[in-house]
Amino acid sequence: MTSTWRWGVPEAAAALADGTISSEQLVTSALDRLHDTEARVHAWAHVDADAALAAARESDRRRAGGRSRGPLDGVPIGVKDIIDVAGMPTRAGSAVFSQAIPASRDAVAVGRFRAAGGVVLGKTTTYEFAFGQGTPPTINPRDPERYAGGSSIGSGVAVAVGQVPAALGTDTTGSGRNPAAINGLVGLKPTAGLVSKAGTIVVSTTMDAIAPIATSVRGVALLLDATAEPQALAECFGGSVVRAAERSAASRVGVDRAQWERWGVTPAVRTAVEDALLVLEGTGVEVVDIDASELDTALTPGLVISLAEATELHRHRLRAAASRYLPETRAMIASGALVAADDLALALRMRIALRQRVERMLDVHGLGAVVSPTLPVGAPRLASMTAALTSTGDAESLGSALRILCTASLTGLPGLSVACGEVDAGPVGMHFLGRWNGDAELLALAERYEQAAPWRARVPVDPR
Amino acid sequence: MGMRMLIGCATKPVQHRSGLCHAAGRLRMNLLSASDRAALVDLIGEALAAQDEAAVAAAIDDLRADLPAFRHTAMRMIAEESAR
């Protein structure tokens, strides 16, 4: 019973349902794994073992009394440390909040997860205010010399090493999907508004999304069901994204390989995604060539909006405590104050126009999704990550990831990354961009791939 | 394509080998206009504005380099969608 930390969400949920294991045993195993590995990966900002075990025992009592709240009742997760969890401090990776008192209430998404019986083990690390500046101590478990993802880095690494079967991150311009891809996991940026952000220290009020991360597509779907807004679930998914995915008839995806060239996708990553597309075709999904070049236009308006919104969100805090920010974070937030109002207004209008055009592209070709690599490269070596990081065409560059991932972020459309192979630099992700409220279609397509793939991501992985 | 400082939400790593440090060095002479500097001072105060000015200038210069193309594309898209 001691290796249950190897289980993903579906396996844990099934074992809890059939009585193979108790939540207390499951949480104890997760805590043991955390104890054994944390010194090598540093994925957690705060752990409350006593509260988690108490919640697990309460879950076990409910289940014994026939009052289970659903498949996630008793399943432990981690929560990115910009999302409030009642009883735990939200420090957001910043000295500004180093003395934060415990939150008095859960963020809405966390509250919904706990109402579904879920257990929160603690808070996972992030870069300061999720901006990606500075250096959280979190280490890539496969190769400490390589990048481990950002900014939901702790959520990705905690799941990758089996400390928890799933976690909540956030995604502003890819920061939930990126650590999922780097760590061989599944990460989803849901359709805007499907999961409430209330109680989260966001980067951008209109671009951030709560992003579930897990070892499997089904794990992400279950976590989405448990955290989504009930009205949206009812109106758009018949009450459950999991069941809507099971009913999904999506059977065609589009690819724009010329775009991959422009993004600087390396041959190894391209091969991994091409192989994955062959697997997908083998399941009956048609793969068609399309011109998706307009997806390249999302980055600048995405940055205009996210920076301007970040400045407004931090304005009062900066005036009170600017010296306690990391200089890198402070400068980045401050640059948003210099964004012209005209440009912000134009970016907000372009967001609507681009969403319409992407959805029309999907409609015209009858697509469930546009598929691409999640990142153009595997995990870069930390030593190679310099000012040239965003130079397009640089084989060691992650900068093109912004172009790949920002369309979903800007438009509010859903984006999902599923592990599809491994190269010398680590796992590779395959990205699905879908239509508004097309989350179930993305999950269905990704799960079809996942179930047919001859390859399995090495998760959980033992940290080096 | 610049944006070396502005990628943190998606990717930014590392141990202060960030674009910020490099950009700040490279663009030390490229400081803010008077109006930009006033906005920065208003936000973080005179002392920190002096400290951060080069870095902020590098960041906003990167973003502004891409704005002409963005404005052209955005106005075209908006006009085309409005005409549909």
Q: What is the ipTM of this complex?
A: 0.91
Residue A452 confidence (pLDDT) above 80: yes
Find the mean pLDDT for residues A172-199: 97
How are the residues of chain A apportioned to helix, strand and coil, as percentages rounded to the nearest 5? 50, 15, 35
A347 with B52: Cβ contact below 8 A: no
Q: Which residues on neighbouring strands pair with residue A419, listed in sequence order?
A: A429
Mean pLDDT of A158-167: 98
pLDDT in tens, A368-406: 999 999 999 999 888 877 543 334 444 345 667 788 899
pLDDT at B11: 37
A70 touches A117 (CB < 8 A): yes
- Give, to the nearest 10 degrees, the angle between helix A439-452 and helix A217-227: 160
Nearest CA to A287 out of A217, A364, A366, A216 is that of A366
Residues in chain B with CB shorter than 8 Å from the CB of A398 are: 7, 10-11
| Interchain proximity A334–B75, CB inside 8 Å | no
All residues of chain A having their beta carbon less than 8 Å from the beta carbon of residue B81 are 352-353, 356-357
Catalytic residues of A, by residue number, are 80, 151, 175
pLDDT digits (tens, 9 = 90+) for A286-330: 999 999 999 999 999 999 999 999 999 999 999 999 999 999 999
Distance from CA of B47 to the nearest CA of A (A): 10
Interface contact B18-A328, CB threshold 8 A: yes
Nearest C-alpha neighbor of A369 from the set A265, A251, A453, A280: A251
pLDDT for residue B30: 60
Whether residue A203 lies within 8 A of chain B, CB to CB, comes out as: yes
Q: Which residues of A touch B75 (CB under 8 A)?
A: 346
Contact B65/A at CB under 8 A: no
- Inter-chain residue contact B43 with A133, CB threshold 8 Å: no
Which residue of A205, A300, A411 to mutate against B (max B Cβ within 10 Å)?
A300
**Considering just the CA atoms, what is the radius of gyration of chain B in Å?**
16
Q: Is A384 on the interface with B (CB under 8 A)?
A: no
Q: What is the mean pLDDT of chain A?
A: 95
Q: Which residues of chain B have pLDDT under 50?
A: 1-28
Q: Do B1 and A392 touch (CB under 8 A)?
A: yes
**Any chain A CB within 8 A of the CB of B55?**
yes
Q: Among B15, B56, B70, whose Cβ lies nearest the Cβ of A335? A: B56
Rounded to an integer, the average pLDDT of A222-240 is 98
More reliable by pLDDT, A360 or A380:
A360
Whole-number pLDDT of residue A235: 98
Per the rule left: phi > 0, alpha: psi between -120 and 50, beta: everything else, A270 is: alpha
- Contacts of residue B55 in chain A, CB cutoff 8 Å? 327-328, 331
Query: What distance in Å separates the CA atoms of residue A79 and residue A46, rounded to the nearest whole number?
Result: 10
**What would the mean pLDDT of A337-349 be, rounded to a whole number?**
98
- The tokens for A162 are 């089996």
Q: pTM for the complete prediction? A: 0.94
Q: How far apart are CA A87 and CA A338, in angstroms?
A: 38
Angle at CA of residue A371, ends A293 and A209, nearest 5°: 90
Q: CA A367, A371, A377 angle in degrees (round to 5)?
A: 170
What is the per-residue pLDDT for A1? 54
- Which residue from A minimizes the CA distance to B26? A387
Q: Tokens 């943190």, residue?
A: B8
CB-based contact B9 A172, cutoff 8 Å: yes
Q: Tens of pLDDT along A271-286?
A: 999 999 999 999 999 9
Taking the Cβ of residue B46 and every Cβ of chain A, the question of whether any pair is shorter than 8 Å is answered with no
Q: Which residues of A touch B39 (CB under 8 A)?
A: 337-338
* Burial category of B46 from C-beta neighbours within 10 Å (exposed 0-12, middle 13-18, buried 19 and up): exposed
Tokens of A432: 């699905």
Q: Report the C-alpha gap between A399 and A385 in whole angstroms.
A: 10
Residues A244-263 pLDDT 10s: 999 999 999 999 999 999 99
Using CA coordinates, name the residue in chain A closest to B83: A353
A82 in contact with B at a CB cutoff of 8 Å?
Answer: no
Mutate to test the interface with A, among B11, B37, B64, B72 (most CBs of A within 10 A): B11
**pLDDT confidence of residue A2:** 58
Alpha-carbon span A193 to A190, nearest angstrom: 8
Instruction: Check if A341 contacts B (Cβ < 8 Å).
Output: no
**Contact B19/A at CB under 8 A:** yes
Q: Taking residues A65-75, what's their average pLDDT?
A: 98
DSSP A234-277: HHHHTT-HHHHHHH----EEEE-HHHHHHTT--HHHHHHHHHHH
* Residue appearing with tokens 């279609």: A441
Q: Which two tokens stand for residue A118?
A: 């879920």
Reading the block at residue A336, the tokens are 């948003």
- A211 forms bridges with which residues in the sheet? A169
Cα of A194 vs its chain's centroid, Å: 14
Contact list in B for residue A387 (CB cut-off 8 A) is 4, 17-19, 21-23, 26
**A45 vs A56: CA distance, rounded Å:** 21
> What is the least distance, in Å, from the CA of A55 to any CA of chain B?
33
SS3 A428: strand
Q: Does A392 touch chain B (CB under 8 A)?
A: yes
Strands (E), A58-157: 76-80, 119-124
- Exposed (0-12), middle (13-18) or buried (19+): which is B68, by Cβ within 10 Å? exposed
HEC per residue, A88-110: CECCCCCHHHCCCCEECCCCHHH
C-beta atoms of B43 and A337 within 8 A: yes
**How distant is the Cα of A122 from the closest Cα of chain B, in angstroms?**
22
**Helices marked H in A412-438:** none
Q: To the nearest whole percent, how much of chain A has pLDDT over 70?
A: 97
How many Cα atoms are found within 13 Å in the side-chain-facing hemisphere of B49? Answer: 18
Query: Within an 8 Å CB–CB cutoff, is residue A357 touching chain B?
Result: yes
pLDDT average, residue stretch A408-435: 97
CA–CA gap between residue A276 and residue A306 (Å, rounded): 33
Can you tell me the distance from the alpha carbon of A267 to that of A417, in angstroms, rounded to the nearest whole number?
19
State how far the Cα of A429 lies from the Cα of A378, in Å rounded to an integer: 9
Q: Provide the pLDDT for residue B25.
A: 41
Rg (CA), chain A: 20
Which chain A residues are closer than 8 Å to B45 by Cβ? 319, 322
Checking if the pLDDT of A349 tops 50, the result is yes
**CB of A79 within 8 A of CB of A166?**
no
